[in-house]
Structure 1
């Protein structure tokens, strides 16, 4: 009885239509929101315990996060120096002995799972990724928390896909729905999180099949966050504005600065990773060594540690050094360069944490620098430095991640309005057109380069392969005259191991296909066996021409259930025939 009830319940819960995927996306979002809040709370507890009660340093937080309090012990620069190394050592133990996939940023692992593993995430990856990131970021590593929360969401989406036994297409959508929910939980930007999830897997495309599930999941997670946090947006942002058309020219300059700096960040990040990968020491020591570099920088410049969101909030609210304009601009540039170094030595050495949040920090500092320069030289334009900071955040991320739509919408969500959209569009276009690199190496060009869309790729590629370019594949072995006897052709078929023959009449004229697999002897035909000719059993099958494509050839073969199709010239003379197996060989060579 219970077994029968369970079978009926499972049958009702199975995914049999897009509507079921949408419903489960909401459930994935709610679950991810709860787990994301729990992870965020534990991370802040660890960080506050280390810095407020251990090191004696109070770190700034964005709105609605962390504990607003002062350090309860005297400041110790020595503990600050070794704290990131200790966190890197603990993270190295987790990623070396328990879960190798937990190291690094985490986004590349999600991208690989989407393209090559049907959207499936290992069950233990989210837990160990979260643990390793708590050690890395909680002890002062320069990385973001979005990586583990994205993997928590991806793991939850993948879990639902596994227990429901869905196909790869639905499984990938559920995984991306979880990713979108994770981003919405971190940045409190549901639409931006959904677009990032479906855009970051490609360089020049978007996973449109998963867009609606991602939106539903992200909004659900955002509602969970709002239920526990009163603050709707992550940052307190003063009013931003665009006063004149001429101001947009400086945003063009900002776009160029973001692309150039993004290239330096990507190159430096990969250089550090390559050096540490080739370093012949125990793996658990590598993130610890990177932590020493971060700790050294933190002793002299506290703003270089952590994810940088709290420092970014202070800069948005007007924190600047008491210096001339060039000193302020230089200060912002220095913080951006220092963040590139500390993030690389945190994540590229094997530590655990995301690079998305540091990218926002770097872009914000670049925007602040350009804004200060523009404000000084053109005071009559009344330029808002905060506007440049916000646009720089989106512009730099767009350049290093190839996510133009997501970057624009994410910033607008953070600001709370679309005032900066024209400037964001300019920076987005520049970054997308000029940038030829990506911090995420797992990205592919578009869906036709992804194993997740092989069927789409088949149709596209085969329709581009014209028969005229492959005349060397045309064969002439199984050509038969219409007056030949069928029993003779049957003898030839045994020797040639063929079942379909192309019928060629006078002057090489095409007269159809003699398919022995579709011809069966009856008592009447047995009596006329020695009299039955090929012309009597031949079928009319549309011939191919040199202007046709391999896609057309496959369509003819499938419609008529034959393994070869005749190719004719301008006067309908037979030039030869194409075999199914030859088409597949040529296709595989083109793919490689």
Structure 2
């Protein structure tokens, strides 16, 4: 090869290398571009989600004889039940992780699954929440859109095969983008993602969350218009002595928020006890109860946006609604939101928290006006009350303060709000209140404050403990042959499969012993006649504490681990012996 040809090849390689440097972005630039894409996708998802809820709502309005979902007509009784059933069916058959508030599920995915989520959650959560909220279920939109946004960010991150650490950040960025788009509050969305979801601060994570939040907010402005989420007149402090009234309001808000948090958590645990009732039926029953209550208090139906707007408007509900009605709405909203979400409905707690806070503040403001006529209007106390309840329920005081400013565009309320939130959070800490998100997650083995538990049952997942090489038996095998296998094996039970290799049940020495006591013909009786078909199941990513709880509730010593998308596809088996081995192997 000539010297001239070698030099030409070398120059060509240098040019190619330079070209690749131009088109191959650095890791940081790539992540920022992905954050922009996540923000754009979250903004569009929020737009579609909002219109889905509006579509269901307007369809119900056109179907109802009185043409008004807040009319208190008898037709209202059945709509939340129908919405709960439809939403429950969608969740049950397509993505069970879409059940619940949305925020705890998003945090769980960040903590336990490295930010990984199935793309189908975006659609399933949107549809289920639209059915729940659009038909009058007492829930908000922020929880679903946060989970939807997190699923969008996770899906995009998985598509580009980013590292686990960055995948979590993209999921949080998507959640922030969704919240920013719905509430027109990009700053509060960023703070919420850092304060509640990630609970850590790094420059890169902050930058990605900001990028996503800003792009989502701009996208929302283009698609939905530049509107304040909760327009309100300017409120402020008429006299410095009014801080004393806000001090008392802060003290009152803490126990009320704690009652809401505990009631909601109790409702979720209570409905979980009824294992034999399918989840969609639970959601339908819950919707029916809410519909009955809504017949007498129609204001508690739905998210409560219009009622809160009326409370904040000049001459609105803060001054015209009676104290008895305001008190009834506080209690009714706590009960109906707890029933809606506790029974399996899909929705968030932010808007119900704002509703409860607005009614509480209005009630307090009206009472204060009877003693001090020259103080700020009752609407000012309603506005502060909204931030107080949410700060305790979500355990996010900074988010609450910033969000109330952004969604109202009223800076004058910041001073009394900051003062009252501080008092409320001190009171809540003294009461041991940790917020609903922390309660739900702690029950699933995720500890938000003070690090995570070192108990392996609280931290390990089913995939880390399960046995993959499983001995199985056919449903067409005789009981006599099964008894022989158990005698020859060190196992005392086996998963049962059909001719297609699908999991159909579980059989142990307990069923054999019962068959022997019942004097059945062991030579002719097949396993399918004695096996347990209502066996408990687990996903590979389920935390081990949930696995143990299911085993205890089902009174069994083993649980089958199946694919999330196919509960008949067996991937592993966990026994009590496997769990004890995990204990012994833990440091």
**Match among 287, 291, 295 for residue 295 of structure 1:** 291
Q: Deviation digits for residues 377-429 of structure 1, max 9, x if unmatched?
A: 1123x322222111111111101111111100000002213212221212222
- Any conservation in 1 of the 2:80–2:288 contact (CA below 8 Å)? yes
Q: How many angstroms apart in 1 are the aligned matches of 2:20 and 2:410?
A: 45
Mapping of 1:189-228 within 5 angstroms? 189-201=185-197, 206-208=200-202, 210-228=205-223
Q: How many angstroms apart in 1 are the aligned matches of 2:297 and 2:404?
A: 27
For the pair 1:252 / 2:247, whether they are aligned, the reply is yes
Q: How many angstroms apart in 2 are the aligned matches of 1:412 and 1:26?
A: 25
Deviation, 1:56, is 2.5
Mapping of 1:192-591 within 5 angstroms? 192-201=188-197, 206-208=200-202, 210-279=205-274, 280-317=276-313, 318-320=315-317, 328-380=322-374, 382-435=375-428, 436-440=433-437, 441-442=440-441, 449=451
Q: How many angstroms apart in 2 are the aligned matches of 1:418 and 1:445?
A: 35
Residue 9 to residue 425, structure 1, CA distance change in 2 (3 Å): farther
Equivalent in the alignment of 2:120: 124
- Any conservation in 2 of the 1:374–1:383 contact (CA below 8 Å)? no
Deviation, 1:14, is 6.5
Q: How many angstroms apart in 1 are the aligned matches of 2:392 and 2:418?
A: 13
SS, match of residue 379 in structure 1: coil
Equivalent in the alignment of 2:137: 141
Deviation, 1:321, is 8.4
Deviation, 1:333, is 2.2
Q: How many angstroms apart in 2 are the aligned matches of 1:96 and 1:183?
A: 25
Q: How many angstroms apart in 1 are the aligned matches of 2:381 and 2:233?
A: 12
Q: How many angstroms apart in 2 are the aligned matches of 1:304 and 1:49?
A: 19
Q: Deviation digits for residues 568-588 of structure 1, max 9, x if unmatched?
A: xxxxxxxxxxxxxxxxxxxx9
Q: How many angstroms apart in 1 are the aligned matches of 2:216 and 2:403?
A: 16
Q: How many angstroms apart in 2 are the aligned matches of 1:349 and 1:416?
A: 36
Deviation, 1:256, is 1.7
Of structures 1 and 2, the larger Rg is shown by 1
Equivalent in the alignment of 1:21: 31
- Any conservation in 1 of the 2:69–2:76 contact (CA below 8 Å)? no
Deviation, 1:20, is 3.2
Q: Deviation digits for residues 227-250 of structure 1, max 9, x if unmatched?
A: 123343112211211122211111
Q: Deviation digits for residues 473-510 of structure 1, max 9, x if unmatched?
A: xxxxxxxxxxxxxxxxxxxxxxxxxxxxxxxxxxxxxx
- Number of residue pairs aligned between Structure 1 and Structure 2: 429
Residue 58 to residue 211, structure 1, CA distance change in 2 (3 Å): farther
Deviation, 1:112, is 0.6
Q: Unaligned regions of 5+ residues in structure 2, if any?
A: 1-15, 454-582
- Any conservation in 2 of the 1:105–1:347 contact (CA below 8 Å)? yes
- Any conservation in 2 of the 1:55–1:80 contact (CA below 8 Å)? no
Q: How many angstroms apart in 2 are the aligned matches of 1:371 and 1:316?
A: 12
SS, match of residue 284 in structure 1: helix
Q: How many angstroms apart in 1 are the aligned matches of 2:299 and 2:51?
A: 22
Equivalent in the alignment of 1:114: 110
Q: How many angstroms apart in 1 are the aligned matches of 2:21 and 2:83?
A: 44
Q: How many angstroms apart in 2 are the aligned matches of 1:55 and 1:26?
A: 46
Q: How many angstroms apart in 2 are the aligned matches of 1:368 and 1:88?
A: 31
Residue 422 to residue 285, structure 1, CA distance change in 2 (3 Å): same
Q: How many angstroms apart in 2 are the aligned matches of 1:114 and 1:179?
A: 11
SS, match of residue 142 in structure 1: coil
- Any conservation in 1 of the 2:45–2:178 contact (CA below 8 Å)? no
Residue 168 to residue 439, structure 1, CA distance change in 2 (3 Å): same
- Any conservation in 2 of the 1:254–1:366 contact (CA below 8 Å)? no
Q: Deviation digits for residues 196-218 of structure 1, max 9, x if unmatched?
A: 1221237xx55455333222211
Deviation, 1:110, is 0.3
Relative to the length of structure 1, the TM-score reads 0.68
Q: How many angstroms apart in 1 are the aligned matches of 2:80 and 2:416?
A: 37
- Any conservation in 2 of the 1:154–1:177 contact (CA below 8 Å)? yes
Equivalent in the alignment of 1:93: 89
Q: Unaligned regions of 5+ residues in structure 1, if any?
A: 61-74, 452-587
Residue 11 to residue 38, structure 1, CA distance change in 2 (3 Å): farther
- Any conservation in 2 of the 1:340–1:362 contact (CA below 8 Å)? yes
Residue 10 to residue 298, structure 1, CA distance change in 2 (3 Å): farther
Deviation, 1:354, is 1.0
Deviation, 1:148, is 2.1
Moved over 6 A (4+): 8-11
RMSD, aligned CA: 2.7
